[in-house]
């Protein structure tokens, strides 16, 4: 059994819940789940035992009710018993058209953390999945700075993710082990303060920023060009969507947080920093969760010839991430059993856009995949 | 020194000659040459010592004259001394607007082979590069059938490539070793008759069908999808160009030869035969050597979501292949020195669309690349 | 009231029937119907009074049953009473995986025509809509040749469309007027023999080949370029789909019929015959009715600059045509009332790929649209 | 003879100068010039008599020297005599990596205007072509406000374009007529204050914002959809380039000026305001003057079917506009002769993105083209 707590019951968390139960019910194939049922923990072993949110329209209602906002099809009967609990807000939904309230409005952060740890102990959570909305954040310089922010209730200094990850450390230390999967850009697996804290606390961290959409595909296409020694002149990548995450990105402060993320995948894969423009571009409501991506690349081939590639597509954003989570929670439990405290690069390198720890680079995904399989004890896919 | 004979002095052979000399002269970077100058044999070690063609307008003229048909830029001075020799035709240019005549019109094939072997012994050829136009061919069922066709001068049964590869075997046996790089679809590395003959004769064969254009990119993109267990519903791939190779493909018999090639890359990479339409589509003269490709894929992601990718591009056809040849002739010489007679899958798997030997599959190129490097004694590119 | 007979109850005919009733029931907006409810005849005035087919699995069943093969949504209750009648086959479905039988297997063509005319008189048909599968056909050189083919029961010489149009002439003469809308490539509005016959017989013909998909869009984009005096170097247009029409086009003889169609839209719009490759490219079953199109154009702009445009898309094939038919049947009835016997270029120029009569050219659709409105007595859309 | 003064000798002005002379010399065809040589004034009648700029590296040098920054080919000999004169700056190049100085640093604006008028009288300018870099501007509320800004030397209130247009009015009044072609977004033809002033002053204004790139194509494609009553769900349009204009657009204030431009082409053509995201997206230096555009549209067709179109392209930015200018200067001279003081909608509607006067809408370009021809006394292109 893999007991999962969802932190942020939005689009991704809801599609994860629905797809998981539909697979368990035999209604659909596990498409989009990279490791299918190859792992020792099977998909049917995953159970959602808790869910947290700060939207006043969600808190208190059963999960089965909330997922209807994101999924219009028939619901599997097995969904439903878990109620949405009130979580940490800390402005994570600010500027969005949502009425939100977090635990921090009821008690100082130190007490909030203690309350969460108690709740989780009752729920016996194995793996936390952080699927909050993209946040405006500042990483911590030292453990002391982090502890002080909690201690002194600096609600302006912390984000929901940072508080959840802190609480997960506290919880893991008491329970002897747990895993925290961070699928959003806030630096956790890339923040040495958190990774160190996790090591001391028997916490496994996977992160940061789930590798969905155009970026991992770009990584593989750039590797394809690099292996042929084609010289990339320029790369433009646009994407536009209509879900809350794209809406959130229109908020300037959130975008600014990007400066703390690692330099681009471009240099990691090519070995030089080809001029590029790679950004979420805009919000267009009718596109919904199915974003439109467009990418243009020019490169120099043999004898100075210049080639061009254009890639466009319609990609369902939330299912892409939700499918990865089905693997990540099982790999999280495995890592806990192996006691690989801190963060696990072979897992992050395949599943994350910004694979921790901080000093590690991006790999072409096709290669990272085989290494991740080796880590998981699975045979190579391509011999 | 790597002494090269070009078989078919068309677009690819000419861009190879021009680009090679420009790199040697320091005018341009070796973009499009996958292994750059990492190999023990350097790019400056490659020398074109002979060139064959059957176009009456080419035979007898110096290489430096012929390349002007394909390259309008300044020519490096080092090009020039090699004259175009008359080669084997056997209808390889039939239905094309070219006046052609081959050695077979002067003597029976057996004598043609003997004449070529004598010439090559004088020229001390290390590596033959077959860059003829795509042929209509039928593979041989047995060595006896092949020998009889040569012996009895069955000019209708053989293609130029098949005669050249046969002569290369004879030559390699006498010289103690040589390499034959087959960059066109005619089955040589995938024909057990030729591979067996090569093993006996101290010949190394690389083939078949140089992996340029959309197919290797498709292989890597399909691997990307397969690794995420996304279920590919359908693939359509079009390409259209204006060079002689596209013109040749409008000839139905040549297209029919495709039935002898291995089943698609699709099943090799995905593990199932997703419905696909992948064909050279047409000839459009003003596109010239820069073909237009368009690819469409639909796949099922998590929870039944259907995504779509479209890839379009303008790709210079001949430089893409010519750049690979700069590696292949050096790897060919290395294989001769290692006495790896027959064919070499780790080389073919990266450089060829239809990697021999016959029983071997397609690999994702990103993985094949690292294995090829290992074969060549080079360190991994991505650690 | 506009009383319609559908000839060929396939995808287009079924989507027409379903969409029409859904609009009449107020379930959906008349999107895809160019003239909406601007005409004197309203959409609610259209009634399907008969339907013909030759598929053994369809004949005898009610329309409401047949449409379920093509439409999975809820059916409007108003559909249903009309039974599918056996029509003319004449190999129109040959080579397709359909068991078919036509009236010609029961009686000679002359009697078939007489039987149809009698049936139609009872049904009081105003407008015939020919939506048969694309046929292999040869136009007629003279009225005598056509009459002889019917008279002598030359079943190999005639196609279903040609017999239906012949019968429609006979019927119109007796009834004092009727309209025949030919939405497939068989030349009727472009065949002077039929147009002449129609004039004598009080028949209005609209045709040929409904202007859906990429071609009318291409026409407008070419006009856009021509108006800026950009010189088009080349045009490649691919399309691939998974419906019966794409399957039928894999049949070589059907494709050959294309030689009787007018030379391309390219010359009509540009004023010169830019090199182009414009063809239905292939069949790929999982695409279903939603075809994939890809188009590439290069043109010379000011000072010799070369620009490129690429257009790709997913287009629902049958709804595009079905929406036009909602206008065409009403315009057909209007033309009958105005006694515009023969064919009506201002209607054809907007709605048809190959607008009759034979001597008339393609117009940019945006211009043709306003002229069609003028013909219909409507005010200009753009002042 | 059409005597032209260029205001802003950048990319567009230079390509205009080069292309014009190459056409006059018979080296190239007038591709990209919509009306070719159909007008009473021929292309050979156009003469560049003056050029203004504020870049210190340009002022004082001959035109033939400056164009070399933008055109690497052979220069026509006829180029050259005209020196670049110092023009008005008023921060038009601020935040760009260019050292600039304008006439306003030497004298108050009132004197600057007087000086320009005197210069122009000597040069006998017929038509002014404003091709400055995109400016951050605020339109004027009244003639008094404008006059005061000049009078009191409010250099922060005015842009270069606004001063040039003001001076052109003064000049036209003295000369009895002149034309001012505004190809940039600053509102002149859409500013009632300027149009009124022009009417009083015998000035013809064409503007605003030359209709190049993706927008006019979008207009025609939207018209194509609107004419078929397809309901547009959403439109996303990106474009990215590497010339000074894209660099300038990264400056936030310039972008803000967009709020003064008319609401989108979308509502004008469709009749409803389909959700859209249409913006210049970014700067990517290696793309140079050849921008990359990408556009995505979804629309509802008959029976609720949803289609998708994607358009991508590489478009040479400056030649597209330069080609239009070849027409605009000749039409400007014609309008002067016809005494059509103020602004001329039939010309603007085809050539301008934001066709003045203010109260006028966008038309589908294909229709606007024919009306413009009619205005120019030319026969319809499509009968």
* Residue spans per domain, chain D: 2-210+319-375, 214-316
Q: Are A275 and D294 within 8 A, CB to CB?
A: no
Cα A102 from Cα A90, distance rounded (Å) = 7
Cα B330 to Cα A263, B35, B187, B265: the distances in Å are 36, 10, 22, 27
The pLDDT value recorded for residue D375 is 98
pLDDT of residue D28 exceeding 60, the answer is: yes
Question: Under an 8 A CB cutoff, do D279 and A282 touch?
Answer: yes
**Mean pLDDT (whole number) for A163-189:** 97
State the pLDDT at residue D286: 96
Give pLDDT, residue A277: 92
Q: Number of residue pairs across A and D with CB atoms under 8 Å?
A: 70
C223-256 tens-digit pLDDT? 999 999 999 999 999 999 999 888 887 777 776 6
The vertex-D35 CA angle with D30 and D40, nearest 5°, equals 105
| Residue A240: φ, ψ to 5° | -140, 140
- C31 and D231 within 8 Å at the Cβ level: the answer is yes
> Residues of C with CB below 8 A from B279's CB?
282
The confidence score (pLDDT) of residue C12 equals 97
pLDDT at D279: 80
Binary contact (A381, B226; C-beta < 8 A): yes
pLDDT grade for D101, boundaries at 50, 70 and 90: very high
Chain D closest-CA separation from residue A248 CA (Å): 16
For residue B20, give every residue at least 6 positions away whose Cβ sits within 8 Å of its Cβ, in sequence order, or none: B43, B46, B48, B326
* Percent of chain A whose predicted confidence (pLDDT) is above 70: 97
Q: Does the CB of A226 have a partner CB in chain B at under 8 Å?
A: yes
Of C278, C308, C307, nearest in space to C293 by CA: C278
Q: What is the pLDDT of residues B118-176, one digit of tens each?
A: 999 999 999 999 999 989 899 999 999 999 999 999 999 999 999 999 999 999 999 99
Mutate to test the interface with C, among D70, D303, D314 (most CBs of C within 10 A): D303
Q: What is the pLDDT of residue B248?
A: 84
Proportion of chain A in helix, strand, coil states, percent, rounded to 5: 40, 20, 40
The predicted pLDDT at position D261 comes to: 59
What would the mean pLDDT of B42-55 be, rounded to a whole number? Answer: 97
CB-based contact, A114 to chain B, within 8 Å: no
Neighbouring residues of A175: CB distance < 8 A, sequence distance ≥ 6: A121, A202
What is the mean predicted confidence (pLDDT) over D138-160?
A: 95
Going by pLDDT thresholds of 50, 70 and 90, the confidence category of residue A77 is confident
- If contacts are CB pairs under 8 Å, which of residues 122-151 in chain D contact chain C? none
CA atoms within 13 A on the CB side of C272: 10
Cβ density class C50-72: b for 16+ within 10 Å, e for less: bbbbbbeebbeeebbebbeebbe
pLDDT band of residue C97 (cuts 50, 70, 90) is: confident
Q: What is residue B259's predicted lDDT score, i.e. its pLDDT?
A: 59
Whether D34 and C228 lie within 8 Å, measured CB to CB: yes
Q: Provide the pLDDT for residue C259.
A: 59
Q: How far apart are CA A327 and CA A183, in angstroms?
A: 13
* Per-residue model confidence as pLDDT tens digits over D212-238: 878 889 889 999 999 999 999 999 999
- How far apart are the CA of D284 and the nearest CA of chain A, in angstroms? 7
Q: Which CATH superfamily is domain C2-210+319-375 in?
A: NAD(P)-binding Rossmann-like Domain (3.40.50.720)
Residue A289 carries which DSSP code?
T
Pairing between strand C46-53 and D46-53? unpaired
Contact C234 B279 (CB under 8 A): no
Position B198 scores a pLDDT of 98
pLDDT at D263 over 60: no
Whether pLDDT at D79 is above 90: no
Q: Flag whether pLDDT at B257 surpasses 70.
A: no
pLDDT higher than 60, residue B241: yes
What is the average per-residue pLDDT within A299-304? 96
For residues C205 and C356, is the Cβ–Cβ distance under 8 A? yes
SS3 B364: coil
pLDDT at position C124 is: 97
Smallest Cβ–Cβ distance between D312 and the set A282, A284, A294 belongs to A294
Q: What is the pLDDT of residue D78?
A: 82
Give per-residue burial for A7-22: e unless 16+ CB within 10 Å, then b: bbbbbbbbbbbbbbbb
The H or E element spanning position C204 is strand C203-206
Set of chain D residues whose Cβ sits within 8 Å of the Cβ of A312: 294, 296, 310, 312
List pLDDT tens digits, range B294-331: 999 999 999 999 999 999 999 999 999 999 999 999 99
- Read off φ and ψ for residue B24, nearest 5 degrees: -60, -35
Average pLDDT over residues D283-287: 95
Segment C327-339, tens digit of pLDDT: 999 999 999 999 9
Picking from C207-221, D170-184, D331-345, which range would have the lowest pLDDT averaged per residue?
C207-221
Query: Which chains would you list as touching D if contact means 3+ CB atom pairs under 8 Å?
Result: A, C
D266: pLDDT strictly greater than 60: yes
What does the mean pLDDT of chain A come to? 93
Q: What is the mean pLDDT of chain D?
A: 93
What average pLDDT score do residues D86-92 get? 91
Cβ burial of A252 (10 Å; 0-12, 13-18, 19+) is exposed
Report pLDDT digits (tens) over B165-208: 999 999 999 999 999 999 999 999 999 999 999 999 999 999 99
What's the mean pLDDT in A168-185?
A: 97
Q: Domain B214-316: give its CATH architecture.
A: 2-Layer Sandwich (3.30)
A23 strand-pairing partners: none
Asked whether the predicted pLDDT for residue D260 surpasses 70, the reply is no
CA separation for the pair C45, B22 (Å, rounded): 74
Q: What count of other Cβ atoms lies within 10 Å of the Cβ of residue C99?
A: 10
| Per-residue pLDDT, A255 | 67
CA C294/CA C323 separation, integer angstroms: 23
Residue B180 is predicted with a pLDDT of 98
User: Does the CB of B273 have a partner CB in chain C at under 8 Å?
Assistant: no
| Helix, coil or strand: residue D276 | strand
Give contacts of C 286-315 with B, CB under 8 A.
286-287, 292, 294, 296, 298, 308, 310, 312, 314
Give the predicted TM-score (pTM) of the model: 0.93
Output the average pLDDT for chain B. 93
Is the model's pLDDT at D91 over the cut of 90? Answer: no
Cβ of D300 within 8 Å of Cβ of C32? The answer is yes
**Which pLDDT value is given to residue A362?**
87
Cβ atoms of residues C320 and C209 within 8 Å: no
Q: Once rounded to an integer, what is the mean pLDDT over residues B15-21?
A: 97
Give yes or no for residue A293 having a pLDDT over 80.
yes
Phi and psi angles of residue B292, each rounded to the nearest 5 degrees, phi first: -105, 130
Spatial contact of A162 and A369, defined as CB atoms under 8 Å apart: no
- With a CB cutoff of 8 Å and minimum separation 6, the contacts of C152 are none
The answer to whether the bond into D171 is cis (omega within 30° of 0) is: no
Q: Which among B279, B281, B285 is the top mutation candidate for probing chain C, defined by the most C β-carbons within 10 Å of its own β-carbon?
A: B281
Q: What was the pLDDT predicted at B329?
A: 98
Q: Which residue has the higher pLDDT, C335 or D259?
A: C335
- Cα–chain center distance at C38: 22
Q: Is C9 on the interface with D (CB under 8 A)?
A: no
Per-residue pLDDT at C15 exceeds 60: yes
Residue in chain A lying closest to B303 (CA): A19
CB contact (8 A) between residue B236 and residue C298: no
């Amino acid at each position: 059994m893999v007991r999962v707590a969802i932190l942020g019951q939005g689009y991704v968390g809801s599609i994860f819940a629905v797809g998981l139960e539909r697979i368990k019910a035999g209604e659909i194939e596990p498409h989009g789940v990279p490791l299918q049922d190859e792992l020792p923990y099977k998909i049917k072993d995953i159970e959602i035992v808790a869910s947290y949110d700060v939207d006043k329209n969600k808190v208190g209602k059963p999960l089965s009710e909330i997922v209807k906002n994101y999924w219009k099809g028939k619901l599997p009967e097995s969904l439903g018993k878990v109620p949405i609990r009130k979580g940490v807000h800390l402005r994570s939904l600010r500027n969005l058209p949502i009425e939100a309230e977090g635990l921090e409005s009821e008690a100082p952060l130190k007490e909030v953390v203690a309350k969460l740890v108690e709740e989780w102990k009752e729920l016996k959570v194995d793996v936390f999945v952080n699927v909050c909305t993209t946040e405006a954040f500042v990483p911590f310089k030292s453990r002391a700075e982090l502890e002080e922010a909690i201690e002194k209730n600096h609600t302006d200094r912390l984000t929901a993710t940072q508080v959840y990850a802190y609480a997960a450390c506290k919880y893991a230390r008491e329970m002897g082990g747990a895993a925290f999967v961070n699928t959003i850009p806030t630096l956790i697996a890339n923040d040495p303060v958190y990774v160190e804290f996790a090591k001391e606390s028997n916490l496994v961290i996977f992160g940061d920023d789930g590798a969905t959409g155009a970026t991992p595909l770009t990584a593989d296409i750039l590797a394809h060009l690099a292996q042929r020694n084609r010289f990339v002149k320029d790369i433009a990548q646009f994407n536009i969507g209509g879900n809350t995450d794209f809406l959130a990105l229109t908020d300037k402060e959130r975008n600014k947080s990007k400066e703390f993320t690692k330099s681009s995948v471009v240099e990691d894969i090519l070995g030089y920093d080809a001029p590029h423009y790679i950004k979420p571009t805009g919000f267009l409501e009718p596109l919904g969760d199915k974003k439109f991506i467009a990418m243009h690349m020019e490169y120099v081939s043999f004898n100075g010839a210049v080639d061009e590639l254009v890639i466009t597509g319609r990609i369902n954003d939330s299912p892409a991430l939700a499918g990865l989570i089905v693997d990540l929670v099982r790999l999280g439990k495995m890592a806990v059993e192996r006691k690989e405290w801190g963060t696990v690069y072979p897992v992050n390198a395949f599943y994350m856009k910004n694979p921790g720890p901080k000093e590690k680079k991006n790999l072409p995904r096709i290669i990272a995949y085989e290494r991740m399989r080796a880590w998981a004890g699975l045979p190579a896919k391509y011999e």
